[in-house]
Amino acid sequence: MPIEIYTVGGYNEVGKNCTAIKVDDEVIICDMGIHLESYIKYTEDEDIINLSPSKLMEAGAIPNIRIINDIRDKVKAIIPTHAHLDHVGAIPFLAERFENAEILGTPYATQVLSTILKDENMSIPNDIKTLNPNAKYQISKNIKIEFINMTHSTPQTVMVAIHTKYGIILYSNDFKFDSSPVLGKKPNFERLKDIGKKGIFALICDSTYAPLKSKTPSESVARAMLKEVMLGTESKGKAVVITTFSSHLARLKSIIEFGKKMNRKILLIGRSLSKYVYAGQDIKIIDFSKDAKILRFKEQIKSRLKKVNKNRDKYLMVVTGHQGEPKAVLARMARDEYPFKFKKEDQVIFSSSVIPTDINKENRENLEKTLKNKGVRIFRDVHVSGHASREDLRDLINIVHPKHIIPAHGGQQMTEALADLADEMGFREKNIHVSYDGNKISI
């Protein structure tokens, strides 16, 4: 078969995304991410540099790439579509097994990868090359790739169009269609229409929100929700704490702007927040340091929170821990592990959703119970998703007119929801390919 698609990871679950696309005798790997829940569980008491890739694979924390062992010398490129750890986080562990492959990503994705490698004192032998959104790159005589700018919950997310003599394979994990983004440019709809006219051979597509029968709202909606809570709620004399996804720079931008309007000093507290913010500053897409103090290390955090405790309504604290993670800053504050005490009617704003896994649900429930027992006011779900819902997916399919559809990035309910949409839109059963981790699709 001229085209074989190996669904390595992310086809049984949300996370651990990894797809290998073999065209004749050459292979491109799109995404190489961790499964966050399994990774955290396995690495709780381990230094990252000491972790064995084989044991991480067995634990389900990173993609099991044994399925492509026989073709690993044919891999020409590893392409993370964006900076989220479930797309880029396994590269430090697995890239060296594909030593002939270069790593291609947008400036933010490659900067986050470089930051992870530096922070964890790790190295990989692969060349890391940076391509801007909407750039094209000739990988070999027969394969050219193109980054098509998209919107998502982290900057510089792209769809990857793989141009081959058999047609274009469009890899679209993750995205949303946001025509009013808070940070960055709107999706490149014109280019999608152009390549749709040329003919998309196969669409490998984000299924995470396929069961949701709606259109995903713009980030500008989340901005309006934040404004209502932050500026429309009386907070004089009260501590205000906000937690959100560390990589969501657009959300952080809104939080900082409204924090300034509250006349509060803004603190960004936690290791992952500092990692993603400094990466964004390094490539000059944000400059939060001029308006916010970034606190990364435990002693630094303790020292500043001691001051905050005495002047609680002078500060806005933006902290890690939106899923209730026990080791994150918010949970430690709630347990009184830092020299800050929550008081009655202090405010905690969760500008995030709960990622629906058992451990996240349990952690968030425990955290909210602790906060409630202290009399804290909790504002939940001040958030919109970064994933395309069913009606956005319908629009994508109508724009690019693929011959084949391969649902990706989701559990069975999610991938089957996208397959159901394709069926509803008139695709023949043989052109809809619901897969699973460790499978191969020959077209």
Q: What is the pLDDT of residues 186-223, one digit of tens each?
A: 999 999 999 999 889 999 999 999 999 999 999 999 99
Cis upstream peptide for 291 (omega within 30°):
no
pLDDT of amino acid 1 = 65
Q: Residue 343 burial (CB < 10 Å; 0-12/13-18/19+)?
A: middle
CATH, range 3-215+386-442: 3.60.15.10
Q: List, for the chain, all residue ranges whose pLDDT scores fall below the cut of 70.
A: 1, 43-50
153 in Cβ contact with 386 (< 8 Å): yes
Beta strand 402-408 pairing with 315-319: unpaired
Residue 137's H or E segment, with its range, is strand 136-138
Identify any residues that bridge with 136 across adjacent strands, giving them in sequence order.
Answer: 146
Residue extents of the structural domains in the chain:
3-215+386-442, 219-379
Residues in CB range of 135: below 8 A, 6 or more apart: 146, 147
pTM of the model: 0.94
| Topology, domain 219-379 | Rossmann fold (3.40.50)
pLDDT of amino acid 47 = 55
Q: Residue 429 burial (CB < 10 Å; 0-12/13-18/19+)?
A: exposed
Look at the block and give the residue holding tokens 């047609």: 167
Provide the Cα torsion 65, 66, 70, 75; round to 10°.
10
80 in Cβ contact with 86 (< 8 Å): no
Classify 16 in phi/psi space as left (phi over 0), alpha (psi -120 to 50) or beta: left
pLDDT of amino acid 17 = 96
Provide the Cα torsion 190, 193, 197, 198; round to 10°.
70
Residues in CB range of 432: below 8 A, 6 or more apart: 404, 405, 407, 419, 422, 423
Burial code (b: 16+ CB inside 10 Å, e: under 16) for 220-246 equals bebbebbeebbeeeebeebbbbbbbbb
142 in Cβ contact with 129 (< 8 Å): no
Beta strand 200-206 pairing with 292-295: unpaired
350-409 per-position pLDDT tens digit: 999 988 778 888 999 999 999 999 999 999 999 999 999 999 999 999 999 999 999 999
pLDDT of amino acid 48 = 56
